[in-house]
Every structure is written in C-alpha cells, then in structure tokens.
A and B are shown apart, each in its own frame.
Chain A
Amino acid sequence: MKKLLGVVLAVIGAFAVGGIALHRNEPINAMWLVVAGVCIYVIGYRFYASWIQARVLSADATRATPAERLNDGRDFVPTHKWVVFGHHFAAIAGPGPLVGPTLAAQFGYLPGTIWILFGSVLGGCVQDMVVLFMSTRRDGRSLGQMARDELGPFGGFAALIGTLTIIIILIAVLALVVVNAMKGSPWATFSVFATIPIAVLIGLYVRNVRPGRVMEASIIGMVLLLIGVAGGGWIDQSPTLRSMFDYTGPQLAGFVIVYGWLAAIIPVWLLLAPRGYLSTFLKLGVIALLAIAIVVIHPELKMPAITKFVDGTGPIFSGKVFPFVFITIACGAVSGFHALVSSGTTPKLIGRETDVALVGYGSMALESFVAIMAVIAATLLDPGVFFAINVGAGVAGADPATAVATISGWGFPVTVEQMQDLARNMGEHTLFARTGGAPSLAVGMASIFSSTFGKGLLAAWYHFALMFEAVFILTTIDAGTRVGRFMLQDFLGHFWKPMGRTSWYPSVLISSALIVGGWGYFLYVGVIDPNGGINILWPLFGIANQMLAAIALTVATGILIKSGKLKFAWVTGVPLAWLAIITTVAAWQKVTSDDPGLGFFAAAKDLATKLAAGALPAAKAAVAPKLIFNQQLDGWLTVGFTIIVWLVIIDMVRVAIRATRGLPTRANSEAPYQSNRLIPAAASGVNLRTASHEGTL
C-alpha cells in the first residue's frame, strides 16, 4: 500500500516537476508548483526520512528519551509528537523563507523553486532531523556542546563564533527589511508601531489579569492588531496625523535600535512573551489562509521561468545564479540556524526517538512549502512591477520616469501610471524602490487575499501583510538580541566573573548595548546606502547562515563516522559538500571579484576612486567613507567565516580518519541506553524490528 502510494506520488511529482521545467515562454499556473512541492515533500518524508530514521540513525522506540529520563515538568517534558511539531515549526518558521525567495525571483521562478524543493528534501530537512536526533541522544545538548564533546574545543569555539555573528547579521538584515517597509508610509508605520503597546497590553493581561490564559489573550490581541491596521488607514487620511508617522529611513533605524535595546532589558513577560504568542498565531493563520487562497485562485505566474539576470547582472543583488540562488534562499531550503533550535528546546520535549522524522524533517518540509508560497506571491506580479518595487533607486534611477525607462529597457515593461495606480490601490504614496522584499511580498499577498476573501480591500490586505511580516521580524529581533546577550555574557564571564551573571543589571545593560550596537551598525549603513543596503547585507546573511549549516552538518557527519556508520556518512556528507562548495565559491567571488557590484573590496576601491576624483554627487560623497569602511568590513567577515568553516571541516576529517583507523578519539557523548517506561512501545504501533537496542549514535 505504502509502495503504491509512493509510486503514484512519484509519477504525479515527476510530471509536475517536468511540467514546471518544460513550460517555457508561456505563463504557468501556480498549482504546478504546489503539486510538485507536496509530492516531493510527501515522498521525502515517507521514504527518505523513515529510512534515515530506521537505518542511519537506528532510532529506537524503546529507548527512554531525555524528556522521560530527566522529566522536570519544565524544560524536559515528554510531549505528544504533533505538539512538538507545532512548537518546533513555530520556532523555525520566521521571515527568512518569505524574503529570500522574493529576492531570488530576479532569476525567474525556476531556479529558486528547484533549490527550495531539492535543497530541503535532501539537505535542510535532513540537517534538522539528524541534529535533533543527535541532541536527543545527548540529553538535549546544544550544537556547540556537541561539537566540543565529539570533535574538540575548536569545533565548539567555531560554533559559538558562527552563531553570534549570524545572529547579529540576521537581526540587522531583518531590521532593514522592516525599516524599508515603513519608510515614508504612515499607514505601515502606525500599524507596526501599534503592535508594541498592543503586545504590552496583552502582556499585562496574561500575567496580571488572567495569568496564563494564553488563548484568550492571543485572540484579544489579534483583534487589536486588526484594529491597528484599520486605524492606520484612518490616520493616513488625516494630513496632521499622517505627518506624525511619516519618517525617513535613518529616523526609523534609530527607533528600531532604541526599541531593540529596551526590549532586551525589560522583563520578558512585558513585551517579548506576548509578542511571541501574537506572532505565532498570526503566522500559522496567515500561512493557512495563503495556502487556501493560492489553491482557490490558482494564479498564473507572470515572471519567466528564467530571466537574463542568471548571468550575474541582476539589479536586486549581483552574482550569477550559481552560486547566488543557493545563498539568497537559505531558510526554506537549508538553514543553519535551525540546527540551534533542533539542539535547543525541541530535543527536551521529544517523547520517543522515532518522533524525530515528523518533528525535524516534517517541520522543515512545511517551512519549505512556505518558501514555495513566497515564490508564487513574488512571481504572480508583472515582472516590471516586481522590479520597480524591489530595485534600489541607486540602480534603477531616482525619479519614476527614469526608473520605468531603465526597467522597461531590461525587457520588463512597466509604466509610471501602472505604478501610481498600484500605489493608490495599496494605500501608499509610492511603491518605487521599496527594497527588502517585504513590500513586494505584501503586494503579492494582498492580490491573492483580496481576490479570494474580499475585493476592494487591497489597501487593508497590503498593510495587514506588512504588519504580519513586521510582527515576527520584531519577535526575531527581540529574541535574537536576548540570546546574543546571553552568549556574550557567558563569553565575557570568562574574563571578568560578574559580567557572566545573567541577572546583574550593569552586565545586562552593557552586553545588550554591545549586541544592539553590532546589528545597529549594519542597519544604519544599510539605511544610508543609496542602493538599498539589502543587496549587500542579504548575501552576507545567506553566506553566514549556510556556513552555520555547514558547521552543523560537519558535526553530524563526524558523529556518524565515529559511530561506525561510515557507509551512511553521505547522508549528511553530500549536503555538507554542496554547502561547502557554494559558500566557498560565493565567498571567493564576493571577496575577489573586480566587479564593484559583486566584490566587497572592488566596491570599496571603486567608491574610493570616485570619491577622490570628486565624481560623486554631494549626497553620496557625504556617506561614501562609511560605505567604503562597511564594504571592507563585510569582505573581511566573509574571509573569516570561510576560514572558520574550513578549519572545522578539516578538524572533522582528522577525527574521522583517526576513527576509521581505530585510533583513539573523544568518547561518544551519548547517554547510555535506558528502557522506556512511560510509553509502552508495544502499544505505540512502532515496528520495533527496525530499531536495534545496541545501536549507538
């Protein structure tokens, strides 16, 4: 039966993928992408994930998990697999899979779609699942601890540095996305600002009025958020009120920086916790609505399968389709950050080892499907409109007439009237050069929603979509700053004991300010950059995130080989090799390219030459020294990342060679086998024959 289902799915899936690949020069329906995606995910889950679980990992349903052995009713709690799935998905699904595919749509819908589908099934889902399993076998230890225990201190150090840098760059780029979405838009600014007092109100309610009643508080909060979006529309009508929420990029960046610092130092129950609840509700609701709406209206994609920008001349970001589509779409295909969640809260909730396929592999497959929906939302727009929204003024031209001429000249016709109509429909002053991905995604989502759930509400849907993106971007900013603060405190504690005390207020203030200062710097430079900043910061984020994935897969491969599973090492080794290749090639190009659009140092040199020759307009000359410094810093960061990743890989290979030759290596840090008490395996319906008690991993 299972085999028959597999064959049927394989045929449909192959047909859909073939259909996507062969449809050229004519519009393709979005349903092809949905069908191909669902088939590939189901096949990957039913066959590949179960095989990995049974054969590669030897997951054992009779083995007690840390949730059972160390059950404290708090961190460690055996939890039903679907509930863990919900927690894990809510934790991994952020704005990444929405933004990356939108930016990568400059190559057409095909490259991004193929990478999202195959990257997740063979790479991202595998990484999340294997790391989750290995952490579950090791009492829920973090990736950094596992690296230290299994490979040595260097691996642990690399994971720490990688995590901290990626958190800083991630927050900066997300903050830039949210700033660009609010810039010059009082409606968007008001509805995003309104989420802050709403979260505080809900925080007070769920702590002081009705402690712990999360569901009712979230429902009240959702209603208030919708009122906030409607209120923004009302404010937008009044000239006086409107001017109170009309800010420039640098002003908004200042707000976000101060906000981020305050959010990191006030108690979690006041802002972070209620915002987390609201963003989870919104996220799950919007994803479900979007999926329904896409199936109902099954729009045609207007973007070509492949655009000419695969040659590296892309206006949204530079670089050829190889390797940059694989860098731009990180979350949604492979995301190293997930390895931190998979070795954080989730392994402490796993009730049975055989749940890891559903929780690890399944959650990532669903996130990947969110990325496919983002591809659809971006490519159903007229390509001319898509580029007009997403290309910075520095590339397309500052005034509308120049911008449409430039973009039409690329072969994607668009007119000033068309853009004005669109902006008016969306309740915006202008939609030119709204870089960062969020506005164009919101336009796409608004078109989908308004044709399914109410025509004529375009502007409201547009601002709802922006608010939705902003809410969970702000959650990531708050949570990320806090985590960064803890890591920094832990690190600084080695040099001066009091700094390591997480509740000592001077330490809290200083370490939070350092983290906020770190991402605030990148945010500020991104905001003043006439090209929009995203074109520099997003590739840097992608490289960092993929390199963290490479570190996670290196640790996993090392553990597999040490456990005598050399013949299965390709399961994590192949995705590792692929990530090592694409990140190294991308880093090499970003560092050594002579093209100022692509190479960090080339851009710095180009700008310095022009500045010295007095060839820059006054506005650009004023910020040029900062941009030059930033390009050089980004270049050195890229060099640093690459060196760290390769050192970890070499370290793993050294350990692996010793292990295969029978030389001593660090002892396996797995917790010893204990039989499962709580959940009788016989009653769980799990086939025990596929699992062996002796297998250690």
Chain B
Amino acid sequence: MYAQLRKWVADFWSGIRSVSGDDAYERYLKHHALEHAGTVPLSRRAYYDEDQQRKWSGINRCC
C-alpha cells in the first residue's frame, strides 16, 4: 500500500517534470549515450539554448 503510494507520487512528479521540460537535459543525455556514444554531449546551457530555439520556431501557442 505504502509502496504503491510512493510509486504514484514518484510517477506524478516525474510526469510534472516531463511536462514542464525540467528533465529535458537528462532525457537528452540518455538519448545521446544511446545513439551517439563516444561523442561529447552538449553542455547544459548549450542544450537549453538549442532546445528553446527549436521549441519556439513552430506553432506551439494558440488562442
């Protein structure tokens, strides 16, 4: 019961982090390690810059 509750809270929190983009860099590192192993990943800040540039280039706000 307690373990189940803890799992729910943890899932909820990780969901919130995903939706807000708080864990974007961690996800990027994971992807990088998987697909581009051996090359140097972007720094936190360089990734953030690139991520924002990309995010705000399409239609992602509406009426």
Residues of A bordering B, CB below 8 Å: 71, 73-75, 77, 79-80, 82-83, 86-87, 90-96, 170, 174, 206-208, 211-215, 218, 268-269, 272-273, 276-277, 280-281, 330-331, 335, 337-338, 340-341, 344-345, 475-476, 479-480, 482-483, 486, 502, 545
Contact = CB atoms under 8 A, between A and B. Distances in A.
B20 A268 contact: no
Contacts of A480: 61
B38 interface: no
22 contacts: A71-B35, A73-B35, A74-B28, A74-B51, A74-B54, A77-B27, A77-B31, A86-B19, A94-B63, A211-B48, A212-B44, A212-B47, A215-B16, A268-B53, A269-B52, A281-B20, A330-B63, A331-B63, A335-B63, A340-B59, A475-B61, A479-B56
B60 A91 contact: yes
Tell me the interface secondary structure of chain B in the complex.
helix
Contact of A73 (B16, B31, B61, B63): B31
Contacts of A83: 15, 18-19
A277 B20 contact: yes
Nearest to B16: A215
A284 to B, nearest CB: 9
Contacts of B51: 74, 212
A71 B46 CA distance: 20
Interface in B21-58: 21-22, 24-25, 27-28, 31-32, 35, 43-45, 47-58
Contacts of A90: 19
B7 interface: no
A80 B18 contact: yes
B40 to A, nearest CB: 15
Contacts of B55: 268, 273, 345
B53 A337 contact: no
A212 B15 contact: no
Contact of B62 (A75, A281, A341, A486): A341
Contact of A211 (B31, B45, B58): B45
B59 A341 contact: yes
Given A77-B27, A212-B44, A340 B62 contact: yes
B20 A214 contact: yes
Given A94-B61, A94-B63, A215-B16, 18 more contacts: A73-B28, A80-B15, A87-B19, A211-B45, A212-B24, A214-B20, A214-B24, A268-B56, A272-B56, A276-B56, A276-B61, A277-B20, A337-B62, A344-B58, A476-B61, A476-B62, A479-B59, A502-B57
Given A80-B15, A269-B48, A215 B22 contact: yes
Contacts of B54: 74-75
Interface of B: 15-22, 24-25, 27-28, 31-32, 35, 43-45, 47-63
B48 A212 contact: yes
Q: Is the interface of A mostly helix, strand, loop or mixed?
A: helix
Contact of A214 (B22, B43, B45): B22
A276 B63 CA distance: 14
Contacts of B16: 215
Contacts of B32: 73
A86 B20 CA distance: 9
Contacts of A79: 18
A91 B62 CA distance: 6
B10 to A, nearest CB: 14
Contact of B60 (A80, A174, A214, A345): A345
A337 B27 CA distance: 30
A96 B56 contact: no
Given A331-B63, A340-B62, A479-B60, A280 B15 contact: no
A218 B21 CA distance: 11
Given A73-B27, A73-B32, A486-B57, A215 B17 contact: yes
Given A74-B54, A86-B15, A273-B52, A335 B62 contact: yes
B20 A218 contact: yes
A36 B61 CA distance: 29
Given A80-B15, A273-B55, A479 B61 contact: yes
B22 A213 contact: yes
A280 B59 CA distance: 15
A264 B58 CA distance: 13
A207 B49 contact: yes
Contacts of B25: 211-212
Contacts of B57: 482, 486, 502
Contacts of B18: 79-80, 83, 86
Contact of A268 (B24, B35, B52): B52
A539 to B, nearest CB: 14
B28 to A, nearest CB: 6
A470 to B, nearest CB: 14
Contact of B58 (A214, A345, A475, A545): A345
A170 B63 contact: yes
B21 A92 contact: no
Contacts of B17: 215
A592 B20 CA distance: 48
Contact of A482 (B19, B35, B56, B62): B56
Contacts of B43: 211
A80 B23 CA distance: 14
